[in-house]
C-alpha cells in the first residue's frame, strides 16, 4: 500500500507533469515572471468557471481577505461578523485593519454561520458579514444574503476551502461559491482544492467599480504606474503559479469528483455508527470536501494518536477556536455562548482527504477508525 498522506500532491503532480512542466518552461523561456499572459488567461478561465465577472489574482488567501476589507473603506472600530470556528486568517485581517471582529457561533451540523445568529450580532457598527465555506461545505447563503440586503451590509465569502462548490437557490438558480456575496476571496495554497506550487490567492466580484478598486489596492493603489491614488498593498500572483493553476483548473471538477467519492466511501463505512457523525450533506449545495471531518463523541485525541501509530495522519481543524486565541484577547466581541463552537473544537477530527486516495488506503483508514471506535 502507498503511504497515506493527509494530502498527496506528489502522485497528483505525476499525472499532470507533462502539462505543468511545459507551462513552467514557457514562463521561464519568456522571462516574464511578474504579470503577463498566463495571469490574464488564468483570471479569465477562473471567471468562466465560477460564473463571476471579475477575478483579481493576488499573493495569497489572507491578502485576498485583507484587500476585500480595505475596499469597503471601513473605519477603525467598525464591526465585522465572522465565525470563531474557522482558520485564524479569516479574522486576523479584521483585527489587522483595526476593525472589531464579532464572533458568533456556528451550526453544529454544517459547521458554518447562519443568518439567525448573524442577526443577533448586528449593531449600527456592523459593516460586513463573513461566512466561511468551511471544509468545503457551502454556508447557507440565501438567508445570509437576504439579511445582508435587509440591513445593507455586504457579505464577503471566505471561499478558501470551498472553491468549486455550488449553492442552489430556492428559485432553481445555481451559483458557484465565491460568486454570491459582494466579494469572494480564495486561496491557492498547495493543499487547497485548487492549489498551486507556492502561495497564491484571488478576489472575486460581479461589481465593476469595486473590481477596479480591488485591482488598484492590490497594486499599491495605482491605476497608472507611479500615480498612487490610495494606500494599497503589493499582492501579486506569480506568473509561474498562474501557469500551474491554468493546468490544475482544468482538472478541478475531476479532483472534486475524486474527493466526493472518497467522502462517499467514508460515509458508507461510518453510516449509523453510534459514536461517529459523518459530515452533513445539504440538499441545496454541493460539498467539495476540502476536508472530511468527523464529529466523534469521545476520546478524539486518543483516536488521532491511535491512527498515528498506524501511520495514518489525522488532523484537528482547529484545536483552538478564534475567539479563544491569545492574539484576539481584548480585540473582539463575542455574541452568544459559543456552545457549538466549543463543543465542536473538542470533537472534530479530519481524516486524510485528497484526490489520490485509493480503495486499499480508504479501507485501511476506515478499518482503523472502526477498530478504535467499537
Ligand atoms: C487557507 C485559508 C485562508 C488563507 O489562505 P492563505 O493562502 O494561506 O493566506 C483563509 N481562510 C481560510 C478559511 C483558509 O482555509
Residue 26's domain is classified under what CATH number?
3.40.640.10
Average pLDDT over residues 309-319: 97
DSSP calls for 168-207: E-TTS-EEETTSSSSEEEEE--TTSSS--SS--EEEEES-
295 DSSP β-pair partners: 277, 348
CA of 174 to the centre of ligand 1 (A): 25
Which residues constitute the domain of residue 101?
Answer: 9-249
Average pLDDT over residues 271-296: 97
Same domain for 156 and 37: yes
pTM of the full structure: 0.97
Nearest CA to ligand 1 atom 6: 61
- Ligand 1: residues with CB < 6 A are 60-62, 86-87, 89-90, 132, 158, 160-161, 187, 189, 199, 201
pLDDT score recorded for residue 229: 95
Nearest CA to ligand 1 atom 14: 160
pLDDT score recorded for residue 185: 98
pLDDT score recorded for residue 250: 98
pLDDT score recorded for residue 103: 98
Domain assignment present for 127:
yes
pLDDT score recorded for residue 256: 98
Same domain for 181 and 300: no
pLDDT score recorded for residue 367: 98
Same domain for 357 and 322: yes
pLDDT score recorded for residue 289: 98
Average pLDDT over residues 195-221: 98
pLDDT score recorded for residue 284: 97
CA of 220 to the centre of ligand 1 (A): 22
Ligand 1: which atom is nearest the Cα of residue 161? Answer: 15
Domain assignment present for 2:
no
Domain assignment present for 360:
yes
Structural domain count, the chain: 2
Q: pLDDT, tens digit, for every residue of 64-103?
A: 999 999 999 999 999 999 999 999 999 999 999 999 999 9
Supply the mean pLDDT for the chain: 97
Question: Ligand 1 pocket: which of 57, 60, 82, 89 to mutate (most atoms <8 Å of CB)?
Answer: 89
Give counts: helices (H), strands (E), the chain. 11, 16
C-alpha cell at 293: 471531518
pLDDT score recorded for residue 279: 98
d(CA 310, CA 140): 37
pLDDT score recorded for residue 72: 97
Same domain for 298 and 183: no
- Tell me which of 224, 249, 274 is where a domain ends: 249
Q: pLDDT, tens digit, for every residue of 138-181?
A: 999 999 999 999 999 999 999 999 999 999 999 999 999 999 99
Ligand 1: which atom is nearest the Cα of residue 133? Answer: 13
Domain assignment present for 4:
no
Edge-to-edge strand order for the sheet containing 285-286? 174-176, 166-168, 285-286
Domain assignment present for 218:
yes
Amino acid at each position: 500500500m502507498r503511504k497515506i498522506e493527509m494530502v498527496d500532491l506528489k502522485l497528483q503532480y505525476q499525472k499532470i507533469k507533462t502539462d505543468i512542466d511545459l507551462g513552467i518552461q514557457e514562463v521561464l523561456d519568456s522571462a516574464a515572471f511578474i504579470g503577463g499572459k498566463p495571469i490574464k488567461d488564468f483570471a479569465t478561465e477562473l471567471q468562466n468557471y465560477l460564473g463571476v465577472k471579475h477575478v483579481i489574482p493576488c499573493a495569497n488567501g489572507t491578502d485576498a481577505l485583507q484587500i476585500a476589507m480595505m475596499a469597503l473603506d471601513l473605519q477603525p472600530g467598525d464591526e465585522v461578523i465572522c465565525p470563531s470556528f474557522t482558520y485564524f486568517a479569516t479574522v486576523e485581517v479584521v483585527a489587522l485593519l483595526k476593525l472589531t471582529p464579532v464572533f458568533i457561533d456556528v451550526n453544529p451540523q454544517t459547521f458554518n454561520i447562519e443568518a439567525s445568529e448573524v442577526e443577533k450580532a448586528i449593531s449600527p457598527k456592523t459593516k460586513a458579514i463573513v461566512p466561511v465555506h468551511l471544509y468545503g461545505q457551502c454556508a447557507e447563503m440565501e438567508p445570509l444574503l437576504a439579511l445582508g440586503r435587509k440591513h445593507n451590509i455586504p457579505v464577503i465569502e471566505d471561499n478558501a476551502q470551498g472553491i468549486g462548490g455550488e449553492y442552489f437557490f430556492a428559485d432553481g438558480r445555481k451559483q458557484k461559491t465565491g460568486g454570491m456575496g459582494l466579494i469572494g476571496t480564495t486561496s491557492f495554497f498547495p493543499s487547497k482544492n485548487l492549489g498551486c506550487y507556492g502561495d497564491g490567492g484571488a478576489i472575486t466580484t460581479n461589481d465593476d467599480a469595486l473590481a477596479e478598486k480591488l485591482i488598484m489596492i492590490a497594486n499599491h493603489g495605482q491605476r497608472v504606474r507611479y500615480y498612487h491614488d490610495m494606500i494599497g498593498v503589493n499582492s501579486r500572483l506569480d506568473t509561474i503559479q498562474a501557469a500551474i493553476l491554468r493546468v490544475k483548473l482544468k482538472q478541478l471538477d475531476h479532483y472534486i469528483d475524486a474527493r466526493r467519492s472518497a467522502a462517499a466511501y467514508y460515509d458508507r463505512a461510518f453510516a449509523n455508527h453510534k459514536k461517529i457523525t459523518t459530515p452533513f450533506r445539504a440538499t441545496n449545495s454541493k460539498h467539495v470536501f476540502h476536508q472530511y471531518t468527523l464529529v466523534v463523541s469521545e476520546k478524539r485525541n486518543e483516536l488521532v494518536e491511535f491512527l498515528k501509530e498506524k501511520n495514518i495522519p489525522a488532523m484537528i481543524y482547529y484545536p483552538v477556536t478564534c475567539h479563544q486565541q491569545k492574539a484576539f484577547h481584548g480585540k473582539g466581541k463575542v455574541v452568544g455562548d459559543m456552545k457549538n463552537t466549543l463543543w465542536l473544537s473538542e470533537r472534530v477530527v479530519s481524516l486524510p482527504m485528497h484526490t489520490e486516495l485509493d480503495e486499499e488506503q480508504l479501507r485501511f483508514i476506515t478499518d482503523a477508525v472502526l477498530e478504535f471506535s467499537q
